Structure 1
Amino acid sequence: MPQAEGYSAVLAGATGLVGFQLLKQLLQEDRCRSLTVLARRPLPQLPGLEMPRDKLHVITADFDRMDEALNDIQADVVFCALGTTIKKAKSQEAFRQVDLGYPVALGEWAKAHGASKMIIVSAMGANEKSAVFYNRVKGEAEAALRVIGLPELHIVRPSLLLGKREEFRLGEKIAVLLGPALSLLMQGPLRGYRPVHAEDVAAFMRNIASVPQETLAPYVRIYENDTITTSRRKTRHQSAG
């Protein structure tokens, strides 16, 4: 159980925007004693960060055979940062597999292998009844994970993500350029829609992992974008002080 003495973790999606930031942070996190990364392709280089061989275990595998790849692994905390786009996936069916099928399979593995927490990146507006395909699939994934009955399921719903991606995304490029102005304009009811940096989302997830289990019954908590950004502003303010 992830208490003060530390925890072991599994991370899926380490080559993505949030996942890569989470990988870097977990490698530097003393409370994370061991980290198993499940990836579909080799990990990118981490400039300026030495890979601790005794802490990091990378499994490059076919996600359609996830149970087989993780067969001998045990973890207290499971992080899921899997996600794609229609452009990258090429079809709605392939998109659903990455954003719905794989996270649910990971959740089922976590439940079967005694993980105490699963922490997943979803998206603002996730709703299984949404008319928007992207939001609907994210909502369906959340609903399916709830049914599994994990001891703790933490769902993080960021707004537009800021950070350097391999592929070009027009919306995110505009958000980066207009970020400071958008933050000033988005006040009151619009505050929750502010773009958020991927490293801040990763830090938020990392902090959740270290919080002692709150209940013995299945526990689900959803964190909206405003909660993420507010938390990071408080952390920066405390660090500056």
Structure 2
Amino acid sequence: MSDALLIGATGMVGGAVIAHAGVLSLTILVRRDKDDLPEEHALLVAPPERWADIIAVERPAVLISCLGTTIRQAGSQAAFRAVDHGLILSAAKGARMAGTRHMILVSAVGASANSRNFYLKTKGETEDGLRALGFERLDILRPGLLMGDRAGPKRLGEGIAMVAAPITDALLHGSLRRYRSIPSETVARAIVALAGMTQPGVRIHENDAMRRLAD
């Protein structure tokens, strides 16, 4: 079994996990070849419909999902759900078939299956689906606005939010602190720390918790 298998490697958080993996041995599963991969990590390239079978063969000790898109980027709500719900659950089922006991998911602050917001509802339903699979340990990270350099096309709304983040964050206190922005590298370091933890249970990690793990 490899230490960890990562899906969602091309996003901000996934790329940061690769950069901050340290001694963690990663198998990185992507749909297209990735040229800038450090030599110490293994790369697998396959279409998403084959991911579950590949993960089952790889038998990772930990499955890490940093996979995620936006409705605008995906093109429709259905296409968004196919990635953020369908593909993640398919990968997770492949891992469980192989005996993987631990999964780490990057979700979103406010995720809830009862939300009226389609994006947050989908994220919440994905979390619930993973709980139902019965991983011995499930870590769910719920970041707010991710700060950092994103590859690919720029997102205007996200760029404006990043500029306003210092002011917005200063206004968020108490239970609202979880909505503060957070650097993608902080989330990645928290993921690497969690990958080495074995105590059973389902754990939710929001802004302050991720920062403590990263330190």
The question of a shared fold, defined as TM-score above 0.5 by the shorter chain, is answered with: yes
**Alignment partners' CA distance in 2, 1:90 and 1:133:** 14
2:36 alignment partner in structure 1: 45
Whether 1:170 and 2:156 are equivalent positions in the alignment is yes
List alignment gaps of at least 5 residues for structure 2: none
**Alignment partners' CA distance in 1, 2:144 and 2:35:** 25
**Alignment partners' CA distance in 1, 2:173 and 2:135:** 36
Count matched residues: 214
Alpha-carbon contact 2:53-2:94 (below 8 Å) kept: no
The one-letter code sitting in structure 2 at the alignment partner of 1:206 is V
Indicate the percent of aligned positions where both proteins have the same amino acid: 39
**Alignment partners' CA distance in 2, 1:66 and 1:114:** 16
- Equivalent of 1:225 in 191, 207, 213: 207
1:78 alignment partner in structure 2: 63
Q: Runs (4+) of structure 1 moved beyond 6 Å? A: none
**Alignment partners' CA distance in 2, 1:13 and 1:149:** 22
TM-score computed with the length of structure 2 as normaliser: 0.91
Cα deviation digits, residues 50-95 of structure 1 (max 9, x gap):
x22xx32111111112133335312111100110011111111111
Q: Tell me how far 1:214 sits from its aligned partner.
A: 1.5
Alpha-carbon contact 1:162-1:172 (below 8 Å) kept: no
The one-letter code sitting in structure 2 at the alignment partner of 1:227 is A
TM-score computed with the length of structure 1 as normaliser: 0.82
2:145 alignment partner in structure 1: 160
3-state SS in 1 of match to 2:208: helix
Q: Tell me how far 1:136 sits from its aligned partner.
A: 0.6
Could you say which structure has the larger radius of gyration? 1
2:117 alignment partner in structure 1: 132
Q: Residues 72 and 188 (structure 1 numbering): CA distance in 2 closer, same or farther, change over 3 Å?
A: closer
3-state SS in 2 of match to 1:115: coil
**Alignment partners' CA distance in 1, 2:9 and 2:213:** 23
**Alignment partners' CA distance in 2, 1:191 and 1:80:** 24
The one-letter code sitting in structure 2 at the alignment partner of 1:10 is L
List alignment gaps of at least 5 residues for structure 1: 2-6, 236-241
**Alignment partners' CA distance in 2, 1:160 and 1:193:** 8
Q: Could you say what the CA RMSD is over the residues aligned between the two structures, in angstroms? A: 1.9
